[in-house]
Structure 1
Amino acid sequence: MSERAVAIDDILIETYPDAHCELDFASPFQLLVATVLSAQTTDVRVNQVTPELFNRYPRPADLASAGRADVEEILRPLGFFRAKTTSLIELSGRLVAEFSGDMPDSLDALVSLPGVGRKTANVVLGNAFGIPGITVDTHVGRLSRRLGLTKNTDPVKVERDLMAELPKERWTDACHRLIFHGRRCCTARKPDCEACPLSELCPRIGV
């Protein structure tokens, strides 16, 4: 555990006390679906299409037997909607066939599903099941390197570095706070270093 990493997270706790998963969901299955859909698009856009999707296909069995064209039409506003349709129908079928339609609550089981990687699995574990995990999306990876918490670009290595830097009980929410900061202050194109609450702890301030 790193005192500096904890100090960074303490500041982010004060800055973003309401940091949370910004995908809308009412069940672990809905969060899994929404997270798969969030790849290469925004949470806002995902939240615009999931109400209709969840209303028509509330359970894995419903989505597993859905007509492909019907699902594609709902997902059309999203990028890569055809590939995402394939992933959702296939992972739903796997949930029915191998897990009796229930959502597994282990990393190994989740990543065995089509279209589900470690990032998606950790989102579901942390936010639907309360099992701590590090979610390395573009914001978490970028800010972790900028703040000197890792030198790695590989998401799995970044995940392991942050696990070593922060107490386990902080893992899930610390990622939400980094994502909030990356979206609201330390953006990729134009970081607002003058307004940054981490200015004294950031080795790359102004870079």
Structure 2
Amino acid sequence: MSEKKKRASKILSILQDEYPKAKCHLDFDGPFELLIGCILSAQCTDKRVNEVTPGLFKKYPTPHGFARANQLELEQDIHSCGFYRAKTKSIINCTKALVEEYGGEVPSTMEELTQLTGVGRKTANVVLGNYFGTPGIIVDTHIKRLSTRLNLTTNSDPTKIEFDLMELIPQEKWTFFSNSLGDHGRTVCYARKPMCGDCMISHLCPSAGLV
């Protein structure tokens, strides 16, 4: 086992102790709500998305509802999530595909999910890992920042980071690792002024005290 893999194993063990109940921060009931929430969360906080989705899913409870939505009206419905024009187009095209190709159901494979408009590997892994139980490394802004600081990757491309981490973390822990490291990024390892003095993995971090 490489030194980097040993260090990753120690980091995972500590995260399991510190964040035993780590989970996705988007509120959802079923894979469809999670999928739409993920599309809305691009360049937006989960907190903001969670403020928008209850009313949104009451108005459009099914893929059929979104697929038939008036574009300008939907833009207003999701305006506060940012990038609302692009997200509206993605949601309408994505839900049309769900209705026309999958009978209104969300597919459960990476290949099928990433064929949907607005769905990349990150979103697919969120849905697969947090609903379908298929482990995946979710490279969001927190995972990208922390995996770089921890020197678990030297890549900046999200897909390359994903595959680097897949080599270091046991497959059955991929989703948990993503969720727990994300929690650590939200609460301790901030983008600016990380709290290295309060960090339980600082002794395993080459960047501790240097950021």
- TM-score per shorter chain, which class? over 0.9
Moved over 6 A (4+): none
Q: Give unpaired runs (5+ residues) of structure 1.
A: none
Q: Distance in 2 between matches of 1:199 and 1:65?
A: 50
Structure 1 match to 2:45 = 42
Q: Deviations along 1:127-186, whole A, 9 cap, x unmatched?
A: 110000011011101101111111111111100010000000000010001110111000
Kindly state the Cα deviation for residue 69 of structure 1 after the two structures are TM-superposed.
2.3
Tell me the TM-score normalized by structure 2: 0.96
Q: Distance in 1 between matches of 2:162 and 2:79?
A: 32
Q: Which amino acid aligns with 1:55?
A: K
Structure 1 match to 2:137 = 134
Tell me the TM-score normalized by structure 1: 0.97
Structure 1 match to 2:79 = 76
Q: Give unpaired runs (5+ residues) of structure 2.
A: none
Q: Distance in 2 between matches of 1:148 and 1:101?
A: 42
Task: Indicate the RMSD between aligned Cα atoms, in angstroms.
Answer: 0.9
Residue 182 of structure 2 corresponds to residue 179 of structure 1: yes
Q: Which amino acid aligns with 1:73?
A: Q
The count of corresponding residues between Structure 1 and Structure 2 is 207
Kindly state the Cα deviation for residue 204 of structure 1 after the two structures are TM-superposed.
1.2
Q: Which amino acid aligns with 2:19?
A: Y
Q: Distance in 2 between matches of 1:80 and 1:43?
A: 15
Identity %: 53
Kindly state the Cα deviation for residue 3 of structure 1 after the two structures are TM-superposed.
2.2
Local SS of the residue matching 1:187: coil
Structure 2 match to 1:23 = 26
Q: Distance in 1 between matches of 2:20 and 2:170?
A: 18
Local SS of the residue matching 1:77: helix
Q: Deviations along 1:72-118, whole A, 9 cap, x unmatched?
A: 12101111111111110110001111111111000010010011100
Alignment of 1:1-207 (within 5 A): 2-207=5-210
Q: Distance in 1 between matches of 2:81 and 2:37?
A: 12
